[in-house]
């Protein structure tokens, strides 16, 4: 029987692995981490429900409809309605404008940008549900679309230019998701430290029956004074059991 701490550790490993794979986990990976749950329906359901809550697909990615919020769906509906005003280029027209854009023609660049906006949406939908709002993904894609137009002049043909545009947009969205994950993990680490300080302060407060100083708390808990002061600063001195310098 796996204990609670070990279970949480393995769940975190599972989540991290899913993030690396685009929010999908495979059954063989699941059973490798939890080899004893194959025949335990209740335990398996706990994990699969957790995956669903975290918008992680099992064996295949969840559909776009399953991973986005109602707010994101509404935004997309309005945005796509606006895009209907832009007449799409035919394959031949796009190639002609692309060649002119590669030569530096600004009007042709504008035509390609307008024609690619719907493709940015399609790419953004591939990365939906990975910690970044759809609106932000599309915004990042559109910004990258405008900047990449200065790079297509180095391409040998229109097809290569199209490939460069798509790859740059995808890379930008992937980078945005990675940055969001780093920020999320950093925020989680900060919150964990604040809670650790608050719990230690409460425990010592109950023992001493009075507010404790930073020095006392550090000595008794082993938490550095710097970490305690940082926690106080982040909470605007709202850890009531710790005596502040003004008191």
**Chain segment 139-197, per-residue pLDDT in tens:** 999 999 999 999 999 999 999 999 999 999 999 999 998 888 776 666 667 777 788 88
Spell out the residues 6+ positions from residue 234 whose beta carbon is closer than 8 angstroms to its own: 190, 194
**Chain segment 131-141, per-residue pLDDT in tens:** 889 999 999 99
**Chain segment 1-18, per-residue pLDDT in tens:** 456 667 777 888 888 888
In terms of Cα–Cα distance, which of 180, 152, 154 is closest to 165?
152
CB 120 within 8 A of CB 138: yes
Domain-wise residue ranges, the chain: 4-62, 67-181, 184-234
Percent of the chain with pLDDT over 70: 94
Spell out the residues 6+ positions from residue 23 whose beta carbon is closer than 8 angstroms to its own: 55, 56, 57, 61, 62, 67, 129, 130
Q: CA angle 37-38-44, nearest 5°?
A: 55
């Amino acid at each position: 029987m796996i204990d609670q701490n070990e279970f949480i550790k393995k769940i975190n490993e599972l989540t991290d692995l899913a993030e690396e794979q685009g929010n999908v986990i495979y059954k063989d990976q699941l059973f490798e981490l939890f080899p004893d749950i194959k025949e335990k329906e209740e335990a398996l359901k706990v994990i699969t429900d957790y995956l669903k809550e975290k918008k992680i697909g099992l064996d295949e990615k969840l559909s776009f409809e399953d991973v986005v919020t109602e707010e994101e769906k509404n935004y997309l509906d309005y945005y796509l309605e606006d895009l209907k005003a832009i007449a799409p280029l035919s394959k031949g027209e796009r190639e002609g404008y692309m060649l002119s854009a590669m030569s530096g023609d600004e009007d042709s660049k504008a035509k390609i940008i307008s024609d690619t906006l719907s493709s940015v949406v399609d790419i953004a939908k591939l990365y939906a549900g990975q910690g970044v709002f759809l609106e932000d993904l599309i915004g990042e894609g559109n910004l990258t679309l405008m900047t990449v137009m200065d790079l297509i002049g180095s391409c040998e043909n229109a097809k290569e230019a199209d490939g460069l545009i798509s790859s740059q947009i995808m890379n930008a969205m992937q980078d945005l998701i990675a940055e969001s994950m780093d920020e999320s993990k950093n925020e989680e680490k900060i919150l964990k430290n604040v809670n650790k300080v608050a719990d230690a302060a409460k425990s010592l407060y109950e023992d001493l029956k009075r507010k404790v100083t930073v020095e006392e708390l550090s000595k008794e808990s082993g938490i550095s004074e710097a970490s305690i002061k940082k926690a106080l600063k982040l909470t605007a001195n709202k850890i009531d059991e710790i005596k502040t310098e003004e008191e």
